Amino acid sequence: MQVLTQRLLLRPWTDSDRPPFAEMSRDPTVMEHLRPLATREASDAWIDFQINHQSAHGFCLWAVESRAFGIFMGAVGLSRIGFVAGFTPSVEVGWRLARPFWGQGFAVEAARASIQFGFDEIRLAEIVAHAGVRNVRSRHVMTRLGMSHDSADDFDHPRIPEGDPLRRQVLYRLRREVWV
């Protein structure tokens, strides 16, 4: 299973992705708005979760590499939301890229391909995305993807403790019929 864009390859995870993903996950700037993966064991468990999700559902947050250079860049794809909220059950599009790849349109490019896969191959009616209210970069990506935000949908993440700045989340939605 692979998804190609002009510049990127979204593909299944391999063991060679584990060291660069762990390194990326130790970067405090990359992880500023994400739940921490502070140890190699935690980052490996995250990858294992993605591998199992792919096996169970046919999609996950795939490893992303540059088609031109074959280097690991991060993770982008789709995931079934594993907690209960007013908008679940649902599938979300998500991304995390190593800092050298920020600001070049890679997150939008890979997320668009993931959304296209979700609407065309999985036949989803809607795809959502959520992020901490302070995560301006991800909110910008969501807007560029054509996703809409209604503050009435914002929520407190049930897996993040009270008082944690990541607890309050914004929810963006995209329905298949408005996808371009």
In this prediction, what percent of the chain has a pLDDT beyond 70?
A: 99
Number of domains in the chain: 1
Section 6-28 average pLDDT? 97
- Rounded Cα distance between 156 and 168, Å, is 5
Section 162-168 average pLDDT? 95
Section 151-168 average pLDDT? 95
55 pLDDT above the threshold of 80: yes
Which residues pair with residue 77 across a beta bridge?
61, 94
**pLDDT tens digit sequence for 76-93:** 999 999 999 999 999 999
Q: Domain span at residue 94?
A: 3-178
- Here the CATH number for the domain that contains residue 79 is 3.40.630.30
17 pLDDT above the threshold of 70: yes
Residue 101 pLDDT grade (very low, low, confident, very high; cuts 50, 70, 90): very high
180 pLDDT above the threshold of 70: no
Section 37-48 average pLDDT? 96
CB 172 within 8 A of CB 92: no
CB 117 within 8 A of CB 91: no
DSSP the chain: --EE-SSEEEE---GGGHHHHHHHHT-TTTTTTS----SHHHHHHHHHHHHHHHHHHS--EEEEEETTT--EEEEEEEEE--S--TT-S-EEEEEEE-GGGTTSSHHHHHHHHHHHHHHHTS--SEEEEEEETT-HHHHHHHHHTT-EE-GGG-EE-TTS-TT-TTSEEEEEEEEGGG--
Which residue in 45, 53, 98, 101 sits closest to 79, CA to CA?
53
**pLDDT tens digit sequence for 137-149:** 999 999 999 999 9
State if pTM tops 0.85: yes
Tokens of residue 2, six digits: 């692979």
